[in-house]
A and B are shown apart, each in its own frame.
Chain A
Amino acid sequence: MKSRHKKLLVIVLALAGIGIAAALILNAFQSNLVFFFTPTQVDKGEAPTGRAFRIGGLVEKGSLKREADGLTSHFVVTDTAKSMNVVYKGILPDLFKEGKGVVAEGKLGSDGLFTATQVLAKHDENYMPPEAASAIEQAQKAQKTLQQ
């Protein structure tokens, strides 16, 4: 009888542990998902303000400007339909180039300026980050349907 109780206790404790772990995991998961939006979606106001998200597209040619400190850079990300201004403080990745694909993570300010905390450009000259590629694809599809 006694060992039975103990066994029950172990099972209850194990279940409680698993329950706590699951709650912890799912809670952290919910609050740390980073969603992706295209510049067109941001333009339509679909993106949240005050929560971090990712944008992707091409770095517009001729848009890269650096401030005097050499670290803060401004550039424009476009999906060929809409574009948005981005500011980033830090070293840009090796493969960051005007006219090439880019993905940036950060927050949107009320003035429409996207303050990036992280800029990703993957390590292959011809490789387009999948998010950036899909942003451009979506924008071009939308334009085609408009023309029709």
Chain B
Amino acid sequence: MIPEIGNFALIVALLLALTQAILPIIGAQRGNLTLMAVARPAAQGQFVFVGIAFACLAYSFITNDFSVVNVAQNSFSQLPKIYCFAATWGSHEGSMLLWALILGFWTTAVSVFSRHLPDDMVARVIGIMGLVSAGFLSFLLTTSNPFLRLLPAAAEGRDLNPLLQDPGMVFHPPMLYMGYVGFSVAFAFALAALLSGRLDAAWARWSRPWTTVAWSLLSVGIVMGSWWAYNELGWGGWWFWDPTENASFMPWLAGTALIHSLAVTEKRGAFKAWTVLLAITAFSLSLLGTFLVRSGVLSSVHAFATDPARGAFILGFLAVVIGGSLALFAWRAPKMLTGGRFTWFSREALLLANNVVLLAAMGSVLLGTLYPLLMDALGMGKISVGPPYFNAVFVPLMAPALFLMGVGPLARWNGSSLPDMVARLKWALAISVATGILLPLTLNGFNPWATIGIALSIWIALTVLIGFRERLKYTQGGLLSRLSNLPRGFWGMQLAHFGIALGVAGITVVANYQTERDVRMNVGDHTQLAGYTFTFQGIKERQGPNYRAAEGTVEVSKEGKKLFVLNPEKRIYNASGMPMTEAAIDPNLFRDVYVALGEPLDDKAEIWVVRIFYKPFINWLWIGGLMLAVGGLLAASDRRYRIGVKAPAPAPAGVATQGV
């Protein structure tokens, strides 16, 4: 009964989404207030019904209703309840439903926090989000229905992939989707502006906080995914340039370009067309990312051939969203543009340079991710593009961008003087270059990569401090009150940039100075790494809720003093028989000690291959990433976004186009 209610709720939600899409947009084009007023209740109603559908699916998972195909394939009676709940979005169908739910959440948020916007703008934004939602809901209902029954019901489920049975699974996908789907707001604002003919600074100001929040949540999602991979996969890596990771990284790169370009559009009225294109790009890449990861195309392009309806729908949907929005852009944008002018050395120009680099980086990731799929689909042979390509491209692209990141925030809008900038920054430059060269020398000998990374990290950190000093120079009062009087937008930017500095430091140090050792260990054996002594004290059996584990005990000491004990595990999951490695980590601010079990080498499982890592500064990477996100949220809460500016009576559609 419950799954049928869910199915019915989805159908109602689809009808509401269509209403939400069609009526308000027609109303906005015709200036009909009654039709525009449909937008808010329809959006909120749609959210309620998608919520009911989602709750029904979650209920089926939690109660182990194996008469639902999706539950039987992705859950298991012994699975801990929290993972039963997380399994709701563990499958293709469930994750699409989560996507629709989060889209409903964002639309409802827009409908609530848009009191100060003109009615026609709200109607168009909500209408466009309704179109996207209608697309997703019909995809769910026609090709990916999560409520399909299995008759007769299965006696037992096939279990959630053990790789997903991790706290990361509970938080990472929803957070990632909050980011992906959040870009739909920026997208909807951009299209609404094109439709209305008012592509101006006000549009950028409305769109900015939404975009920044979505970008922050996407950052958190990516950081959590990286942390999860580091903890769960047992290989000690934190980024693999895997297509699933690239799928989330591409919208992030485009989104980063977008939030910077929006700043220029809001403050200077320049880059409007560019900003609109970026908003379309960021959301298109979010869609592409969702489908790449969730359609099975990555494990085999021929997955599409076995389920042609799903593949055709996805390609058609992408074509309509991307093609439609670009066509709208080509039709409307040229009539609205008034070129903003800027000089070659100004904040605008530096932000443009940042945008170019970010998009080049995004393009390189896109090429490396899609090219192998395309070759395979065309039957032109199987190839793969691995980390060496991405590293070879990324470091040289990002190094100049990080350097400019130090200069940009200190440059003035509309033109700075280069000699003046050199005078302001010469000490910071000297200190960062000197530290970059000297620090690696004292550690391990000259190392150009470490030099570049350390110098850039210190450069960014110092320019952030200079930014604070220059901002405070002309204010009065105690330091604390002066600091707290700075606008949140400024604080947010500085915090985010400082987070980048920390992240770059973490990446540089861990990439250049980590050590690892794979070693064969019998009970009582010792091994040394990075000044620590590791003693293998043997293995004992442990029974988990839905797995058996061989739990190793490794004692770690330094200079004869016992420090801590690590318990890495090798698990065998009951339902699937799949083995999984659970690493054990002792973290602190300056290093992680990481131990994972390899494989048993004898029949009695007393001798094991043990993998040990010493990872200096790795946690700086995640702290930096979180700081980035907190900075974004802080900036989005700046009070100037909340000051109500209800525009004077909304201009009827087409006025702007007639005027030009």
Could you list which residues of chain A lie within 8 angstroms of chain B, going by C-beta atoms? 3, 6, 9-10, 13-14, 17-18, 21-22, 24-25, 28-29, 31-36, 54, 66, 69-71, 90-92, 94-95, 105, 122-125, 127, 130-131, 134
Residue of B nearest to A92 (CB): B599
Contact, CB under 8 Å: B578 / A9: no
Label chain B's interface by main secondary structure.
Answer: mixed
Pairs A-B, 8 closest by C-beta atoms: A70-B520, A32-B389, A91-B598, A36-B382, A28-B392, A21-B360, A94-B579, A25-B364
Contact, CB under 8 Å: B352 / A28: no
B482 to chain A, nearest CB (A): 37
**Which residues of B from 604 to 660 have beta carbons under 8 Å from A?**
607, 609, 611
Contact, CB under 8 Å: A124 / B161: yes
Counting CB contacts under 8 A, is B289 at the interface? Answer: no
Q: Chain B residues with Cβ under 8 A from A25's Cβ?
A: 360, 363-364, 367, 393
Could you list which residues of chain B lie within 8 angstroms of chain A, going by C-beta atoms? 161-163, 234, 299-300, 302, 341, 343-344, 349, 352-353, 356-357, 360, 363-364, 367-368, 371, 381-386, 388-389, 392-393, 396-397, 518-520, 576-581, 598-599, 601, 607, 609, 611
Q: How far is the CA of A124 from the CA of B581 in the complex (A)?
A: 13
Contact, CB under 8 Å: A123 / B161: yes
A12 to chain B, nearest CB (A): 11
Contact, CB under 8 Å: B344 / A95: no
Q: A29-B368, A34-B383, A131-B382 are in contact. Are A24 and B161 (CB under 8 A)?
A: no
Contact, CB under 8 Å: A32 / B386: yes
B162 to chain A, nearest CB (A): 8
Q: Chain A residues with Cβ under 8 A from B611's Cβ?
A: 91
Q: Chain B residues with Cβ under 8 A from A127's Cβ?
A: 299
B558 to chain A, nearest CB (A): 25
Q: Chain B residues with Cβ under 8 A from A6's Cβ?
A: 343-344
Q: Chain B residues with Cβ under 8 A from A134's Cβ?
A: 382
Q: Chain A residues with Cβ under 8 A from B300's Cβ?
A: 130
Q: How far is the CA of A123 from the CA of B242 in the complex (A)?
A: 14
Q: Chain A residues with Cβ under 8 A from B357's Cβ?
A: 17, 21
Contact, CB under 8 Å: A32 / B385: yes
Contact, CB under 8 Å: A124 / B578: yes
Q: Chain B residues with Cβ under 8 A from A130's Cβ?
A: 299-300, 302, 382
Q: How far is the CA of A66 from the CA of B607 in the complex (A)?
A: 13
Q: Chain B residues with Cβ under 8 A from A131's Cβ?
A: 382
A121 to chain B, nearest CB (A): 11
Residue of A nearest to B571 (CB): A94
Q: Chain B residues with Cβ under 8 A from A35's Cβ?
A: 381-383
Q: Chain A residues with Cβ under 8 A from B356's Cβ?
A: 14, 17-18, 21
Contact, CB under 8 Å: B397 / A21: yes
Q: How far is the CA of A25 from the CA of B384 in the complex (A)?
A: 16
Contact, CB under 8 Å: A125 / B520: no
A53 to chain B, nearest CB (A): 9
